[in-house]
Amino acid sequence: MIALVAGGVISTAAAFGFYYFWIAAPPVFPQPRLITVRKGESFRAVADDLARAGVVRSSAVLMLYAEMSDTTRRVQPGEYAFKGGERIPAVMGHLVRGDFLVVTVTIPEGLTVHQIAERLGEAGLVCPPVFEAAARRGALVDALGLAPLGAEGYLFPATYRFPPNATVTDILAAMLGRFYEILTPRVEERMFELGLTPRKLVTMASMIEKEAKAPGERKLIASVFYNRLRLDMPLQSDPTAEYSLEGEKRPAALAVRTPSIFNTYDFTGLPPGPIANPGLGSIEAALYPARTNYLYFVARDDGTHIFSRTYEEHLRAIADLKRKARVAAPRSGVGTASGRR
């Protein structure tokens, strides 16, 4: 009798173990969990990674299944996103087919919509003209009230991971979502203090992003723009003149003499919209500029700037740079590319 009872207990435990580790699926994850399978990596290491991430309940059972199904050597290398809630055969199927591979793409600060479309196209995720059209005038952009200029300025620079079959809407939603995450109550309170709308905030931040090559100068550059706005002076920022909705790039010396709705040599105030997609550092500079009396800046060869309070100081700074470099004047941040004030 004791032997029978013991045998029954062992059989029950074995059945429970078989069900728990082999048949029962782990829970669905709130966010997909990423697993990287490296070329040449042992399947044991892959199984251990999957078990640590909770994608499977047991690496040993996964290895046993892979041996029994003769799929150990058929796993495709790459990066996978697992959503959970799948049994071992389904997990192994993804690894063999490579159908949960994700594409990693990094969007640096300061790119335009046109440049982001090109980068996503190079990653094989989108057809650039289709993405650009959706970012300019697509349904999601319209629903968020970003028309008529579109999502320029709102596509947050970051490293993203997308499945190869991600739609243009999926990609736009992820990038726009990252931007709206930073509009915390504290940020909205500060925007109210400065009299900024979200569009004005990203417009100012985009100008700072394009002008500031040295991160430590962002708040100084922001102070110049705010000081000029307060005095109703044209911002005279070369990158605004160089910007084009069509993605065309023109030399600054020509661009500042070419009328456009973005060329801040032609009017006072901010341009109608952002000229690039700024990062968090430039957004923070737009929210918390330095307190200065600077109205001008001119770039050195290393990308840093000389800041000046008066036009006369500014001209002396330019002359000094010319004298030191013995070449033509470097590109100015405000007021020198065209010689206009």
- Compute the distance between CA of residue 126 and CA of residue 166 in angstroms, rounded to an integer: 9
Q: pLDDT tens, 241-275?
A: 999 887 767 777 788 888 899 999 999 999 999 99
237-244: average pLDDT: 92
**Closest alpha carbon to 73 in 101, 53, 44, 102:** 44
Q: pLDDT tens, 170-205?
A: 999 999 999 999 999 999 999 999 999 999 999 999
pLDDT over 90, % of the chain = 71
Question: How many other CB atoms are there within 10 angstroms of residue 324's CB atom?
Answer: 10
Residue 13's pLDDT band (boundaries 50, 70, 90)?
A: very low
Residue 22's pLDDT band (boundaries 50, 70, 90)?
A: low
Structure tokens at 299: 């770039």
- SS3 of residue 296 by DSSP: strand
Regarding pTM above 0.85, the answer is no
Residue 331's pLDDT band (boundaries 50, 70, 90)?
A: low
Residue 332's pLDDT band (boundaries 50, 70, 90)?
A: low
Q: pLDDT tens, 213-230?
A: 999 999 999 999 999 999
- Compute the distance between CA of residue 330 and CA of residue 130 in angstroms, rounded to an integer: 37
Is residue 166 pLDDT above 90, yes or no?
A: no
292-315: average pLDDT: 95
Residue 78's pLDDT band (boundaries 50, 70, 90)?
A: confident
pLDDT at residue number 48:
96
The structural domains of the chain, ordered by start, are 22-97 (3.30.1490.480), 104-181 (no CATH), 198-325 (no CATH)
pLDDT at residue number 5:
40
| Residues 6 or more apart in contact with residue 101 via CB below 8 angstroms | 76, 78, 79, 80, 163, 164
> Where is 318: in which H helix or E strand?
helix 311-325
Residue 306's pLDDT band (boundaries 50, 70, 90)?
A: very high
Rounded alpha-carbon distances, angstroms, from residue 171 to 59, 116, 178, 332 = 33, 11, 11, 36
pLDDT at residue number 340:
38
Q: Rounded to a whole number, what is the distance in angstroms from the first to the last CA of the chain?
A: 103
More confident residue, 102 or 21: 102
